[in-house]
Homo-oligomer: A and B are copies of this chain.
Amino acid sequence: MGPGPKPVHIGTVTETLAIKVLDKNDRLAARNRSYLKDHRILALNLMSSPGSGKTTLLERTLVELGSKVAVLEGDQATSRDAERIAATGTKVVQINTGKGCHLEADMVWHGLESLGPEPGSVLFIENVGNLVCPALFDLGEAAKVVLFSVTEGEDKPQKYPHMFGAADLILLTKTDLTPHLDFDLALARRNLAQVAPGVPIVEVSTKNGAGLGDWYGWVRQRQQDLGGDK
């Protein structure tokens, strides 16, 4: 027999420990969700690979959305993103996870205490850049928004099925770069439809502004559904 791919499924030793952690997280996420609902705050959990453009998207969105907004920033280290967000005049709290690979519900709870978002506002939670772990941790958000940059290749939805399968909205970002890449947009859309059937996909570019109106429209609709303020 010649060389060839031999798929092997090998479980992780962290699996059984992870179940306990997730149970606890789910209880704390329910507390966040109840608090956010009582205050008519629309919480959106933004997730993606590192460098897919979450912070850059927020910089424009916070200014152009025309709603009351606040931001929780998640990163392993630094407050660079919080500084960029603060420069737009938005209330922001940076959460540093250290060696942690994702935000958890209790971090968001403590973040909310420091942040004090206004009732009726939109709360953007920028998760740690990571297509794996953040998918498993409910933060109590109203919706999960997954960003997917055209520079990452069409195969990512299949390779990270838990993340894309958990999405309520998918933003295909950096579309201005497609002329310089071998990126097959139709194939990417087919791959997404397989892993995340029926989930809306919006193509955006923060450089030329393409698609941003559709993104803002989606946020405003969710906010209206929740009875939030304009």
Chain A residues engaging chain B, CB cutoff 8 angstroms: 3-15, 17-18, 20-21, 24-25, 49-51, 73, 75-83, 85-86, 89-102, 104, 106-107, 110-111, 114, 128-133, 136, 149, 151-153, 155-156, 158-162, 174, 177, 180-181
Contact = CB atoms under 8 A, between A and B. Distances in A.
Nearest to A97: B12
Contacts of A75: 159
A101 B101 contact: yes
A86 B151 contact: no
Contact of A149 (B15, B106, B111, B151): B151
B8 A156 contact: no
A22 to B, nearest CB: 10
Lowest 4 CB-CB distances: which A-B pairs, in order?
A51-B152, A5-B82, A12-B100, A101-B132
B5 A156 contact: no
A80 B130 contact: no
Given A91-B3, A132-B101, A174-B151, A50 B10 contact: no
Nearest to A82: B5
Nearest to A21: B14
23 contacts: A3-B91, A5-B85, A5-B92, A5-B94, A6-B114, A7-B94, A8-B110, A9-B96, A10-B110, A12-B99, A12-B102, A14-B21, A15-B99, A17-B20, A51-B149, A51-B156, A78-B155, A100-B132, A101-B132, A130-B132, A133-B133, A151-B174, A177-B181
A80 to B, nearest CB: 6
B133 A90 contact: no
Contacts of A104: 12-14
Contact of A10 (B97, B130, B152, B155): B97
